[in-house]
């Protein structure tokens, strides 16, 4: 997508060598999200250059994302591009449409790169789920997470439930989702939602340092490691050992080729 097309749905993309930064750029509505934004995020993921090794997702201003744009729930905006437009579809077609929206989140798990959510202020509903879609979350000390869907009579459907359970466990995930309560920065670090919480003034530097550390190893190392760790909890030891061996053989050959060259 062109910069103008991205701007039309409230997004910016900047690629600086191995680091791509995606910015939700609707500060007037606290970076609230729309279906058009989710579809554009999926296109960004599909079109990233192969040499991108880190993807940073952030929000313009002092809010990561206030979640779904409430205008998408207004009956006056019940067209095809709105959430309420789903009601005009059959159950199967509505489910298929939601699956298209989910692709705007799932690509951030791709082993080709490590994704980092840079979170300031509120990450609510879809904003929380976008942050959960990233591999790592570095947050300012003013960060506030909340899964607000239950307060609207809805469930989280933008791929956030699985990583939430993986990070904090079933019981705490249920409590966070069912009560729609706010999880602050300190608690987020304590329960495993965030890797670090820093003063807001230090957030950019903390994310830049992490991105630099992730791009320092030889190309291919971090993607292989990410692929090994993803799903490790669901594999038995023999399967995991096999994958480790196969990955290590590929790394030995890559290192040998680099030394020979």
pLDDT in tens, 181-195: 999 999 999 999 999
Predicted confidence at residue 71, as pLDDT, reads 80
What are the φ and ψ backbone dihedral angles of 111, each rounded to 5 degrees?
-65, -10
Stated as kind and residue range, the H or E segment containing 119 is strand 114-119
Q: Two tokens at 89?
A: 């579809």
| Residue 85 binned pLDDT confidence (cut-offs 50, 70, 90) | confident
Predicted confidence at residue 73, as pLDDT, reads 73
Q: pTM score, two decimals?
A: 0.94
DSSP string, 226-260: HHHHTTGGGS-HHHHHHHHHHHHHHHHHHHHHHHH
| Residue 94 binned pLDDT confidence (cut-offs 50, 70, 90) | very high
DSSP string, 33-69: B-HHHHHHHHHHHHH--TT--EEEEEESTT-SB--B-
Predicted confidence at residue 158, as pLDDT, reads 97
CB 198 within 8 A of CB 206: yes
Closest CA to 119 of 176, 184, 180: 184
Q: Measured in Å, how far apart are the chain's first and last C-alpha atoms? A: 37
Predicted confidence at residue 76, as pLDDT, reads 66
What percentage of the chain carries pLDDT values higher than 90? 91
Predicted confidence at residue 77, as pLDDT, reads 65
**Mean pLDDT over residues 202-231, rounded?**
96
Mean pLDDT, rounded, of the chain: 95
Predicted confidence at residue 83, as pLDDT, reads 75
| Residue 52 binned pLDDT confidence (cut-offs 50, 70, 90) | very high
Q: Is 12 exposed, middle or buried, given 0-12, 13-18 or 19+ CB atoms closer than 10 A?
A: middle
Predicted confidence at residue 23, as pLDDT, reads 98
Residue-wise pLDDT for 7-47, tens only, equals 999 999 999 999 999 999 999 999 999 999 999 999 999 99
Closest CA to 64 of 122, 20, 12: 122
Place of tokens 């979350």: 137
The residues, ordered by sequence, that sit 6+ positions from 124 with a Cβ below 8 Å of its Cβ are 65, 66, 67, 144, 145, 146, 148
| Residue 78 binned pLDDT confidence (cut-offs 50, 70, 90) | low
């Amino acid at each position: 997508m062109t910069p103008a097309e991205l701007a039309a749905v409230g997004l910016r993309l900047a690629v600086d060598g191995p680091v791509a930064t995606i910015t939700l750029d609707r500060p007037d509505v606290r970076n609230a999200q729309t279906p058009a934004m989710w579809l554009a995020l999926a296109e960004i993921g599909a079109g990233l250059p192969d040499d991108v090794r880190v993807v940073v997702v952030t929000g313009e201003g002092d809010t990561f994302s206030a979640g779904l744009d409430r205008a998408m729930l207004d009956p006056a905006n019940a067209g095809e591009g709105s959430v309420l437009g789903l009601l005009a579809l059959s159950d199967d077609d509505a489910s298929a449409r939601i699956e298209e929206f989910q692709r705007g989140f799932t690509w951030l798990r791709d082993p080709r790169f490590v994704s980092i959510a840079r979170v300031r202020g509120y990450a609510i509903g879809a904003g929380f789920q976008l942050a959960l879609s990233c591999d790592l979350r570095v947050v300012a000390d003013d960060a506030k997470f909340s899964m607000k869907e239950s307060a609207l009579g809805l469930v989280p459907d933008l791929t956030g439930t699985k990583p939430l359970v993986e990070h904090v466990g079933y019981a705490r995930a249920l409590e966070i989702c069912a009560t729609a309560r706010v999880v602050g920065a300190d608690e987020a670090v304590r329960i495993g939602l965030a890797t670090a919480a820093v003063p807001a003034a230090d957030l950019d530097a903390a994310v830049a340092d992490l991105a630099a550390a992730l791009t320092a190893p030889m190309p291919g190392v971090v993607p292989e490691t990410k692929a090994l760790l993803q799903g490790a909890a669901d594999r038995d030891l023999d399967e995991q050992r096999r994958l480790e061996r196969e990955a290590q053989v590929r790394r030995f050959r890559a290192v040998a080729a680099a030394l020979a060259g």
